[in-house]
Structure formats: structure tokens, C-alpha cells
Structure 1
């Protein structure tokens, strides 16, 4: 996820270096004088692997187990869990490519998975859209509640993700970073809009304010607020930092800013399933959907 005017000889196609070598040097060697954030990033990736894989598998198991009582958003949550579980498999190969391997072939595989992760906000946007329609436009939501619509949308999103990841894997498409820049900015703005609209709608429908809100709506309000905070925490750093790349020296941006932003974004692969699992007990299944039925 680089910014529009990023020099592709430094970082290519919006996610980490093009290959393991740059003039014969490993990625780690290029950052050996300022390794702190790179080490933090690799550590976070392995935490992501050990936490994210079982968490996402648990989400898949719960959705399958509760198939008869699933919410309309579960189809998007299921596909997002599959994507995140696959991405969480990459840290060992990434560590080897950054620290040990001098071949560039492994970066083709990594760039494909980076492309998949870059596109994950598309499924998040679908989840936010589904909840937005349920709370803000409940009548239209009821009319479009057929799961076939959501299955078709999920299939379309997968086509976009695979096409984007394949193009990223090639690595030499001119101005390809602009595609990601447009996608992440649009998805971030859309998710923030949907969640703020949901919060505002719940507050208005509560009548006298949050304290007088129905318990189900109050739980929905708190959950959407948490989701909004996670979206900002995970996706705001690349949105906020990359457009100002020219204010940083090349080394500082490559070894500090770059890995800081991606470390936080990639950690969403663990935070998102943990959020889903945490709300199973106290909140039942998807408070936003429950509150929507009461709003109608």
C-alpha cells in the first residue's frame, strides 16, 4: 500500500519490497541500521499467525455450526475468515525472504498473498453495508434479505481480489499502486460512513439518548463503536501516512513508516475474528441484525 507518487524502485505495487534483494542486499540488511520496527513487524506477524489461524478457524466452525441461525452478514464474515486464515500462513516464508533468502522467486508468492490482504477491506465493506442497510434502511433490507444476492456479491468480491492479487504478483504494472490507493481510501471512507450512520441512527431511534436506549440497541451501539475503532486503528495508519511519504527520508519511510503501517493493518487478521468470537456470548448473534428487527 504505497502512495500515489511512490518510487517503484523502492517499493512496488503498494505492499512491501518487490523482491528479497536490492543490489544483492537482503531487506533486513538495508534496514540493519534501524531494525527496530522491522523486528517489531516480524514479531507481530508471527503473533498474527499463532493467534489468527485458530481464531479464524473457530469463526468458520461457529458459522458452520450455527448455519440454521446465521445472520445475513455471516456469508461475508466466512469469506473474510478464509482470506485472513490464508494470509496468516505467510510469516515463515516472509521471515525467510526478508532475513535469509537471496532469491526473488519467493516474493511472487508473497506478493499474491499481500494482494489478497490489500483487498480484504472489500469484504469488510460488504459487512458494513449489510449492517447499514439493516439498521438505517430496514424496509429495503427486508426486501433484499435473499442470501443469493449476498452470495453473488461475495463471488464478485473474490473475482476482484484474485484479479488484484494476480496483477500484484506480476509486479511490473505501471502505476499499479494507484489502484490500491483508490481502493483503500474508498473502502476506508465507506466503512467509516456506514458505521457512523449506524451509530447516529441508533441514537436517534433511542428517543432520549444512549442511556434510555433499548438493551439490544445499546449492545449494538457498543459493538458498532468497537468495530469503528478497530477500522480506524488498523486501516487509518496507511491512509494517513502514505500520502505524506515525501516528508520522510527514503530510509525512514522504508524501514519505519512502511512496516509500522502494514504491521497494524495485517494484525486485523487476528483482531477481526477475535471480535466476532468475543460477541458470541454477551451479545448473541449480531446485535445489529437483532436490533434491525426491532426497529421495523
Structure 2
């Protein structure tokens, strides 16, 4: 999210707020554009050119990287809109990718890991690629709808509606990831008959738990501050400037969490030598 869409101050202080956040926006947006685009294109290339089953197993990661490329473009248009106000409509349209697209695909990845650990029979039943395609198609329809709603709300300058729009979604996505995290943690603590000697299965469960844990921590750092900002604005009409700055830094940096996890899993760690 950009400072212009998260600007909850009064009209008298709009210019000063834009100036104070302008440098931060430009710096973070540049990082997202210069480092985010190559990273996500690299992940997409690895998935597409990998083994035949690789596309199916990493299909959610593929769609998440496509969504993150849209987020990088949002950062670009958001930065350019500081000088060219007409580009703001494109930035407003792409904002829905960050509000809905990113956390939605992250939740799909976590739910997939949750099913693999807690409900393995169900996971095997819905493992074929066609089911992932159905889920991602529904996710993209929801995301595109969110983009259109964001653009409409921001064109109408309805700050209160925009605040409720992203706050409620962030609460929902955070709850889903926390549910998956707790369920997988409980499954790891409960060892079934003869499972104590099955080191490989235990390793897979621990790996799924750490993946969900890292994703949950990332989404917590991104969205909890935004939720606090939104609720404070709705209740007190006050904008927490320092918390916004922290939130926006986390928002940009969190775009690198999932690709790094995928590269780690694939054994492709840029700038590091694999032993």
C-alpha cells in the first residue's frame, strides 16, 4: 500500500504528509522494482522449466510470483504517480494485488501444507493439478474484483470504506494462517502408531510447520500494523505515522519471503554456494 492510499490525515496536512513519505516511498519502491522483478521472474523460470511434476507441486508459488510481479509494477506506478498524477489510477487498480492477491495465495500455500500434514488422504485426493488450477482461478477472480473495488473506492476518496476493506481482509487472512499453524503444530506433537521411527515423515511435517511459521510471521509483521492503523483511524480519526513507516517497510520486504523459501527448497540460493 502506498502513502497516498493510506493517508488518513486531514486535508490541511496532505502536502506535508506526502513530502515526508515521498523519500521513503521512492526508496522502498525502487528496492521492490530492482530486486523484486528479477527474483520473481527467476522463480517463475525455475518452476516452468523444471521437471513435469514441478509445475503442479509449485503451482501456488507460480501464481504468487505472478501476483508479486504485479505488486512490483504497483510500486513503480506508485512512485511515478508522485510526478505524474494521471498514473495514480493504475496504482489504485494494482493495489488490490497487495491487499488481496498476495495474502490469498500465501493462504493457499499454507492450507496446502496444512492438508498434507493434518489430512494427508484429502491432500492426495486433491493433489492433481486441475484442483490447483480451480483454486487459483477462483483466487484470481477474487483478486481482480478487489482491484476494481480498490480503484472505485479510492476514486471516490472514501477513506473509511477503504480502511474497512483492507482491515477486515487482513484479519481474515491472518486468522486462516494462524489456524493452519496451530493445527500443524498439534499434529507434530501427536505421533501416531509406529510414527516414532518414521524419520522421513516427521521431517516433512517439521518442514511444513517451519514454512507455515515463517509465512505467518511475515504476514503478521505486514498486516497487524496496518490493522492497528486502520482501527485507530476508524475509532479516533488519528493516523499513526511512525507505525505506517514500519508497516510499509515490512510490506515491501515481505515480498521476498516466499521466493526465498522456494529457492531454498529448490536448492537455488543466489550469491551462496551450495555444498
**TM-score grouping bracket, smaller chain normalisation:** 0.7 to 0.9
Q: CA deviation at 1:193?
A: 1.1
1:171-182 pair list within 5 angstroms: 171=154, 172=156, 175-182=161-168
Greater helix share, 1 or 2? 2
**CA deviations over 1:148-174 (Å, ceiling 9, x no partner):** 122111111111111110121123286
**Whole-angstrom CA distance in 1 between matches of 2:179 and 2:55:** 22
From 257, 260, 273, the counterpart of 2:259: 273
Match of 2:272 in 1: none
Contact 1:41 1:263 in 2 (8 A): no
From 66, 91, 96, the counterpart of 1:115: 96
Corresponding pairs, count: 258
Match of 1:85 in 2: 69
**CA deviations over 1:158-201 (Å, ceiling 9, x no partner):** 11111110121123286354333222211111012112211221
**Whole-angstrom CA distance in 2 between matches of 1:196 and 1:184:** 18
1:181-260 pair list within 5 angstroms: 181-205=167-191, 214-245=202-233, 250=238, 253=240, 255-260=241-246
Contact 1:90 1:110 in 2 (8 A): yes
The DSSP-based 3-state class of the residue aligned with 2:127 is coil
Q: CA deviation at 1:118?
A: 0.9
**Whole-angstrom CA distance in 1 between matches of 2:169 and 2:179:** 15
Q: CA RMSD in A?
A: 3.4
From 30, 33, 45, the counterpart of 2:17: 30
Listed as ranges, the gaps of 5+ residues in structure 1 are 3-9, 283-296
Contact 1:203 1:213 in 2 (8 A): no
**Whole-angstrom CA distance in 2 between matches of 1:67 and 1:240:** 44
From 134, 154, 162, the counterpart of 2:116: 134
Listed as ranges, the gaps of 5+ residues in structure 2 are 269-275
TM-score, length of structure 1 as denominator length: 0.74
User: Which has the bigger relative contact order, CA under 8 A and spacing at least 6?
Assistant: 1
**Whole-angstrom CA distance in 1 between matches of 2:200 and 2:135:** 37
Q: CA deviation at 1:212?
A: 11
Q: Which moved more, 1:59-68 or 1:177-186?
A: 177-186
Q: Which moved more, 1:69-78 or 1:192-201?
A: 69-78
Contact 2:77 2:90 in 1 (8 A): no
Match of 1:124 in 2: 106
Change (3 A) 1:195 1:42: farther
Q: CA deviation at 1:86?
A: 2.0
Contact 2:163 2:234 in 1 (8 A): no
Contact 2:77 2:87 in 1 (8 A): yes
**CA deviations over 1:28-86 (Å, ceiling 9, x no partner):** 64344xx2x65334312211222211111111011112241327552221111001012
